[in-house]
Structure 1
Amino acid sequence: MQQTIELQAVVPDNLIGKRLDQVLAEVFPDYSRSRIKEWILAGCVQVNGMVVDKPREKLLGGEAVHIQAQLQEQQQHQAEDIELDIQFEDEHILVINKPANLVVHPGAGNQHGTLLNALLNHVPDIGAVPRAGIVHRLDKDTTGLMVVAKTVPAQTHLVTQLQAREISREYEAVVNGTMVAGGIIDEPIGRHDTKRTSMAVRTMGKPAVTHYRVKQKFRAHTHLRLKLETGRTHQIRVHMAHLHHPIVGDPLYGGRPRPPKSADETLRQFLRDFRRQALHAAQLELAHPVTGEWLSWQAPLPGDIQALLAILAKDNQEHEQD
């Protein structure tokens, strides 16, 4: 599957003396610098009718530039008829409410049944967009809102917003332990020394900042609202575990269930059976990549987290009466 891209422009005078790749990135901001460089090296760019395949070539201003390139799917994946909970869709973007137990992108052991497979079925042309338009990810068992780009220009603009920290993402989580107040976690995250699939707070890791506030306190748990300033792998899960308040049910960072003292067997069993991180992407806000309109979506907590909060609240009430 491929799409033909054809772009034309005249180099403005304010870009006189700049390199070809810099000029094209300025003139065609819908496409990333790395993609433009690939097109130049592949001989897809003409300047005044002549192919120029050197990104560092200097331009004098006034030249006619022409790009004709093919966007090809980088890896063949199978389209699969998997139901999507679509919150918003137009010709540029798609916002979905991801359920638990859905892997976002195919990988080792997960070649089928992923969000990417579902997207290829729902939007066949999305195969020509890198990573099928996936701009950011949620872990397999994290639920909630994700935005997907349906075109390369939309993806370029969304990635730019994400890198500039202009996309707002808020989460809700239930963590172990009673937290007194909200705060900010500013701790770098990197790959764990010995556990290949885990991340950890590391001095030499990438900067990671999470804001959190308390929504509700229980006897031995806390319901939090969190906002990401950065988007590192497993960021909220790692940061909360670092504070010794891991997310309930987290199989990687959470450890064993921690019921409150004198909890009844119903609550104890519920916590034992809750085997995914109680983490939900509840709100997503961004500027539309084409119109610039500021958009916002909210997704209610899924049923299992609502049930968790209800049973913890019931435990609170019963012990307040003691």
Structure 2
Amino acid sequence: MTLEINLKSEITATQTGQRLDQTLADLYPDYSRTRIKEWIQSGWVYIDGIASTKPREKVLEGQLIAVEATLQEETAAKAQAIDLDIVYEDDHIIVINKQAGLVVHPGAGNQDGTLMNALLHHSPGIELVPRAGIVHRLDKDTTGLMVVAKTVEAQTHLVSALQAREITREYEAVVLGSIISGGTIDEPIDRHPTKRTHMAVVHNGKPAMTHYRVAEKFRAHTRLRLRLESGRTHQIRVHMAHIGHTLVGDPVYGGRPRPPKGVTPEFFEVYMGFKRQALHAIRLELAHPYTFEIMSWQAPVPEDMVTLTRALRKDTEDNPIVV
């Protein structure tokens, strides 16, 4: 499947002397600089009817710039009928409440059955958008809100907004240990130096910042609300582990489950049966990429985390916190 792109503009006096790629980026901000460079180098950009393949070529007032490009299908993944919990959808974006167990991208060990496969089935035209419109990701067993772009223009806008920290992403989590008050973790993250499938706080890693506040205190656990300033892989899980408060059920960073002493059999069953990280993307707020209207969505905490929270609350009632 392909999509034809036809764009035309006349160079103004203020643009005279600019590079061709810079001028196109200014004229058509919905397309990335990388894509514009590809168009030029592919011979799809014309200056007064003559193809230009030099991104650095200078433009002059009065010249007619034309783009005649073709967007090819961006993914080889196949469409699959997979149920999605769609919170909102229009011609430009889809907001999804992702379920636990759903991988976002196909990869080693997950060639199909992913969110990308589901999106290709739900909205076939999305195959023309890089990564099937996926703007940001959630880990396989993290639940909650994600925004997906249905057009290249919407994706370019949302990616830029995400990088500029103009998209609000709030999470709910349950962590081990008692946290007295909220705070901010400002520690760089990158691949673990020896465990290549893990991430870690690394001195020369990429900047990462997580804000958190206490929502509820339990006997030996804390329910948190968190907000991301960046979007590194496993960021919340790594940051909380770094300060000694790993997420309940986290199979990678949390180690073996450690229920507190003196719990009831009912609590033990719930706690040991929680097999994923207790993390849910509860709120998403952004400016719509077409209307620029500020939009906000909330996804209810999933039933397994509700059950866990009730069990922790009951355990705290049975074993009051001594202050």
Q: TM-score, normalised by structure 2?
A: 0.98
Aligned counterpart, 2:278: 278
Distance 2:302 2:190 in 1: 30
Counterparts of 1:140 and 1:69, CA distance in 2 = 36
Q: What is residue 287 of structure 2 aligned with on the other side?
A: 287
Aligned length: 322
Partner Cα separation in structure 2 for residue 187 and residue 213 of structure 1? 17
| Distance in structure 1 (CA, Å) of the matches to 2:55 and 2:107 | 34
Q: Which residue of 2 aligns with 1:32?
A: 32
| Structure 2 residues not aligned, in runs of 5+ | none
For the 8 Å contact 1:220–1:258, the answer to whether it is kept is no
In structure 2, what is the equivalent of residue 152 of structure 1? 152
Distance in structure 2 (CA, Å) of the matches to 1:288 and 1:270 = 40
Q: Secondary structure at the match of 1:205?
A: coil
Q: Structure 1's 321 and 12: CA in aligned 2 closer, same or farther, altered over 3 A?
A: closer
Structure 1: stretches of 5+ with no match in the other structure: none
Q: Which aligned pairs between 1:100-179 and structure 2 lie closer than 5 A?
A: 100-179=100-179
Q: Does 1:317 align with 2:317?
A: yes
Once residues 239 and 53 of structure 1 are traced to their aligned partners in structure 2, the CA distance between those partners, rounded to angstroms, is: 46
For 2:321 and 2:16, the matched residues in 1 are separated by 78
Aligned to 1:303: 303
Whether the 8 Å contact between 2:219 and 2:321 is mirrored in structure 1 is no
Is the CA contact (8 Å cut-off) linking 1:11 and 1:27 kept in structure 2? no
Q: Is the 8 A contact 2:219 2:320 kept in 1?
A: no
Provide the rounded CA distance (Å) in 1 between the counterparts of 2:13 and 2:109: 53
Please list the CA deviations of residues 286-309 of structure 1 after superposition, one character each: whole Å capped at 9, or x if unmatched: 000011100000001000000000
Give, in whole Å, the separation in 1 of the partners of 2:147 and 2:170.
Answer: 13
Distance 2:254 2:269 in 1: 16
Distance, in Å, in 1 between the alignment partners of 2:28 and 2:69 is 14
Shift of 1:321: 10
1:238 Cα deviation (Å)?
0.1
Residue range with higher mean Cα deviation, 254-263 or 116-125: 254-263
- Residue type matched to 2:318 in 1? E
Q: Over aligned residue pairs, what C-alpha RMSD do you find?
A: 1.1
Q: Deviations over 1:4-43 (max 9, x none)?
A: 1111111222211110000000001110111000000000
Preserved contact between residue 25 and residue 31 of structure 1 (Cα < 8 Å): yes
Runs in 1 of length 4+ with deviation above 2 angstroms? none
Look up the match of 1:230: 230
Per the TM alignment, residue 133 of structure 1 is displaced from its structure 2 partner at its CA by 0.3
> Which whole-Å CA distance do the structure 1 matches of 2:197 and 2:62 have between them?
52
Letter in 2 for 1:294: I
Separation (CA, whole Å) in 2 of partners of 1:157 and 1:193? 34
Q: Which residue is equivalent to 1:250?
A: 250
Indicate the percent of aligned positions where both proteins have the same amino acid. 62
